[in-house]
Every structure is written in C-alpha cells, then in structure tokens.
Amino acid sequence: MEEDFYATLKLKSGEEIFAKVAASEENDRTMLLVSHPIVVGEIKNKIGVVGYKIEPWLKTTTDDMFILNMNDVLTMSESSDIEMIMMYQDYIRTSNKPKRNNSTINRSMGRLGNVNDMKEILEKIFKST
C-alpha cells in the first residue's frame, strides 16, 4: 500500500473528483482507496468566478471510503495546492459534525399563520383584482 496523497481524478464517466487517495496493488490490478471524495463546482456571476461550491461525490450514501479500479480512471493528478487541500479538509471537518437545528419559529422570521388564514387572504386579493 502506497502513502496517502491528495489528488484530482478524472473518471472515464466524465466525473472530476478531489480526494485523499491511496493506491494498492491486488492480483495484478491497481485499486485506489478514495477517502471523502468531493466535487468542486464554480460559482459564477457576470464578472466571472466568485467562489467554489463543494459537494460530496455521492450524495445518497453516508460512506466516506470508496474503492476505484484504476481502469475506470482516465487521468489522475497529485495535488499540492494548499488552498484546495485546506478547502477539502475544512469540508471534511464541518461535514462530520452532527447537525443541530435549535432554531425555533418566531415573529422576526416573518409572518406566522395557518393555511386556512392564508387561503382566505389570497382569495380576497384574487377577487379584488
């Protein structure tokens, strides 16, 4: 088993992921152990790129370690980009924290009401126009 390293992987499927990777030789095949793979997207506006959005590679699983066959990888580039590595580590650190939603509904968040009251108000507005 090789030493872990950060890398960007371009898969034959077209996906581009960033992860901590370890290579392993098994039965004359190279397998990659990919830890916490992420997809990085650019956030753009009229003036160009203003930031980046980080999302998990697979959104419907809680697993954080995956095995990829090297035959499924088009290219791989080891990364020494400190900013990218720091964003990745920050994402891992914040995604592992248990999410707590301690907020309660209050009047400062907006109008409080029920469906029937809102239906009556909207019907009055509709009839008056």
Find all residues with CB under 8 Å of 31, minimum gap 6, and list them: 23, 24, 25, 67, 68, 69, 70
Query: Is this structure's pTM higher than 0.85?
Result: no
CATH classification for the domain delimited by 5-97, as one of 3.40.30.10, 3.30.460.20, 2.30.30.100, 3.30.230.70: 2.30.30.100
Check: CB of residue 32 under 8 Å from CB of residue 67. yes
Instruction: Supply the pLDDT for residue 1.
Output: 54
Average pLDDT over residues 8-22: 95
- Least confident range from 13-27, 67-81, 100-114: namely 100-114
Q: Where are the domains of the chain?
A: 5-97
Check: CB of residue 7 under 8 Å from CB of residue 80. no
The answer, yes or no, to whether residue 38 has pLDDT greater than 70, is yes
Q: How many CB atoms within 10 Å of residue 36?
A: 20
- Mean pLDDT, the chain, integer: 87
The answer, yes or no, to whether residue 67 has pLDDT greater than 70, is yes
Length of the chain: 129
